[in-house]
A = this chain, B = another copy of it.
């Protein structure tokens, strides 16, 4: 199958790859143990040392890393190299109070650029393409990674910018975009806006739609493909790692190939934390192999996946995962941005100056619109004769939440008394 032997690790013999993974896991654990007190302490508490890892199965001896650990070691506590060797510092909205900070060395940046370029190449993107990147501001770093990856393929890139939907549609049409990279919810909104503007997608140059940030089911996918006359390709990434394309679809469109030359992927039962049977659904747990600045050992992603067991007809030997919609944890995912209810409450508290009476925090869906929905109870502190003042509070709260998470937000007041506050 085409592309074999191009030396980029996609077509390695699986046994050879496992041997390389083991060697890299040892290097990665050593580095984390030596340079990051958090990992050293966790390893010691668990009674393991890097030397105990003599097979990939030994990974199971190592403790997990969770999202809250990022917040607890804010800002630079998980970096494994001195700041002097860091060339980029990335901030993502965290899910536990503090932002999630990650760092890259120059080599890390090159690895991410190459991984993103590889994923785009698998989606048949070439130097002849015009690639438009439309992501919410909270995914600015992914925007940068896609820009770098597509530029590495010498495509013409229209990078992430602050244009609103109508202007993005104008760019899509006038600039003759052939590849659009966006979240499934934005893609649905753009589809709607295109038709509303009387633009027939067959008049566009668009042929490829790369969907990131959220899993997509077959029906959504078929809808977008038929309405927009495109082929869709799904990419999986994590803003915490961070990188947008650590698993990607090939031309078979059946499961996402994991970049096993840079990560070990485990699929675990979230209760027992033991591996599930081949092809069974479980939580994706990732260990980085090549990251210098920000190693991750057994990071619990909260994403649900299952392995596609058969070898892929495309010839790539990288394991395929099916990315399932439901999450393991209670995070809401909006436009690829992960949000926890507690963060919303915390932010409201800062805005209001007191503990808010939060009645509901959830995801609101209307047609193609998906946004954060917040209902605030009007209690004594909020209550005011002045409707204007209440409206100001609602506007301010919505504005602050939008700024915080970079997703659409609607805040509504609920004039109830004695309502039970959700914790």
Contact = CB atoms under 8 A, between A and B. Distances in A.
Q: Which of A137, A147, A157, A162 has the most CB of B within 10 A?
A: A162
Given A154-B106, A164-B403, A174 B74 contact: yes
Contact of A164 (B144, B167, B400): B400
A51 to B, nearest CB: 33
A101 B89 CA distance: 29
A68 interface: no
Contact of A128 (B84, B156, B395): B84
B88 A156 contact: yes
Q: Interface majority SS on A: helix, strand, loop or mixed?
A: mixed
A87 interface: yes
Tallying the copies of this chain within the complex gives 2
Given A75-B174, A89-B175, A140 B157 contact: no
A128 B155 CA distance: 34
Contacts of A391: 391
Contacts of A91: 158, 161, 163, 167, 171
B155 A140 contact: no
A154 B404 contact: no
Interface string A174-189: 1110000000000000
A142 to B, nearest CB: 12
Nearest to A106: B154
Contacts of A174: 74-75
Given A151-B88, A155-B87, A140 B164 contact: no
Contacts of A170: 99
A182 to B, nearest CB: 16
A90 interface: yes
A177 to B, nearest CB: 9
A155 B156 CA distance: 27
Interface residues of A, number: 49
B87 A156 contact: yes
Contacts of A400: 164
Contacts of A371: none
A110 to B, nearest CB: 12
Contacts of A406: 162
Q: Which of A90, A163, A400 has the most CB of B within 10 A?
A: A163
Interface in A99-139: 99, 101, 103, 106, 109, 127-128, 130, 137-138
A76 B177 CA distance: 12
Contacts of A75: 174-175
Interface string A84-96: 1011111100000
A158 B76 CA distance: 13
A415 to B, nearest CB: 16
A72 to B, nearest CB: 14
Contacts of A86: 156
A190 interface: no
Contacts of A103: 156
A230 interface: no
Given A140-B159, A144-B159, A101 B175 contact: yes
Contacts of A84: 127-128, 156
A137 B175 CA distance: 20
Closest 8 CB pairs of A and B: A137-B162, A164-B403, A86-B156, A89-B158, A162-B406, A140-B161, A75-B174, A87-B151
